[in-house]
Structure 1
Amino acid sequence: MIRGLKIIHNARIIHKDYHSGNIFIYNSVITATGDFGLSKSAMNDDDNDIYGIIPYVPPEVLQGKKYTEASDIYSFGMIMWELMTGRRPFWDKNHDTDLIIEICDGLRPLIVTSAPEGYIELMKQCWHSDPNERPTATGLEERFSNIYYKEQSCFNKKNPTEIIKSPDIGPITTNNPGAIYKSRPLSVMIKSAESTRNLKIQNKRKFEDNSSGNNFKDGNNVKKIKLNKNNDYWTKELGFDIDDNIKSSKPNNNNYISKEIGFD
């Protein structure tokens, strides 16, 4: 697979819809990449339409940026997770604007099993939010060769990587109807997600600014937040120190002495 992607990128072509449904397996060694209908030259890509399967689309594209070779690498990382678990990424989630927002905020599939040394780290690098931090197809081929030969050596020594058994790996019998694994137009959904995400960020900043400007402690060490111009306050946290010398005591006459602590 990675050799095919390297050939595509060396020709300065971006696939733009790279997912497991476009990988054709002939045998245990030979695979082929298909569906180049959306593929564009990396030098002349003026198409702003986004088309694909949400879990395989990188966060920068989901935020309105153009596809690059690094976008295909992100998609390849999702295929790596799929090969490791036997399941499609985000099979248990609805593929909607909420998932788009979560991916842009850093959501990635959970690591639920083991793999040959270096595999998981490489997969995570492919998922990196910064496209510049992802490996190239050429770099991936080199590192896969190292992983393969190291694992082969361990196998020959009868010490292969032990795969952790987990109920979270292997094919699933029931598909989530909201998980859509057919390529479709995503531009409208992405714009909606972008507006919602930007609004949430603005509201969070306003809340943080208001909180930092209106927090104070009064003389009784009570932390309050100013809510409006009429000097109404909401008590957020109550804290006070009780002198260790002020304690209830029990004299010989069995009468209790108490001391009141007053606060507003």
Structure 2
Amino acid sequence: MSLLRVAGLSRSFGGLKALDDVSFNLEAGQLLALLGPNGAGKSTCFNMVNGQLQPSAGSIRLDGHELVGMRARDIWRLGVGRTFQIAATFNSMTVLENVQMALVSRERKTFGLWKSTGSRYADEAFTLLEQVGMSAHANRACGVLAYGDVKRVELAIALANRPKLLLMDEPTAGMAPQERNELMALTKRLVTEQQIGVLFTEHSMDVVFAYADRMIVLARGKLIAEGDAETIRNDPRVQEVYFGTGKTFRPHASLDDTTGRVPARGARQ
């Protein structure tokens, strides 16, 4: 059984269909890239899996549990972690304290606001920082870290919940090429070792083709293609969405019948 099964997922805002009958599966230990141009429905899909938005129709099942209708916090407790395009950490707290806070939340422990996190879950927090290569910075404030290091801390925070599924929204946004590759190589190693499923959005195609096991592509709310890197590269509908006019999506209508490729901009059709 797949870790994540999405079936017939749809969401309308008034007369606009932001997502239209989208279905896909994700296996444990797999990185699945969710691609598409702006307005394709990626964020809508993400937010429904996460519970921040309820679908108009469809099913989202995690390890057999139906997520539709559940609150975001309850979905998180079932094992769905998330990282954000803009890293979300407490800048005034140390790296270790940020991870400790995530562990405190996981265990539903409360403590007085006048107390520091102290030694609560310090060993487990340090182990998580070791996993992401940030243990040497454990006692530094997050606010003084380089952005690539903050993204590693955010990954450790997401892993604190022992997620089965990790949603990563533009994980390498704002990072230099070397930082992008280091973060994604680290993510791939960790999810393979821990058998976590990852659904991620990403605009850096070099990252996508280097690290995604599979890809799904949305256009105007519809799923238009899915498969491995070679399949996606050669799909004429994907070529049209990314390299055509971008104004409409007409499956095969604007392809050169003799070559099967998208005609050059300005060429007669």
Query: Shared fold (TM-score greater than 0.5)?
Result: no
Task: Give the strand-richer structure, 1 or 2.
Answer: 2
When the two structures are superposed, what TM-score results if normalisation uses the length of structure 2?
A: 0.19
Quick one: higher RCO (CA 8 Å, sep 6+), 1 or 2? 2
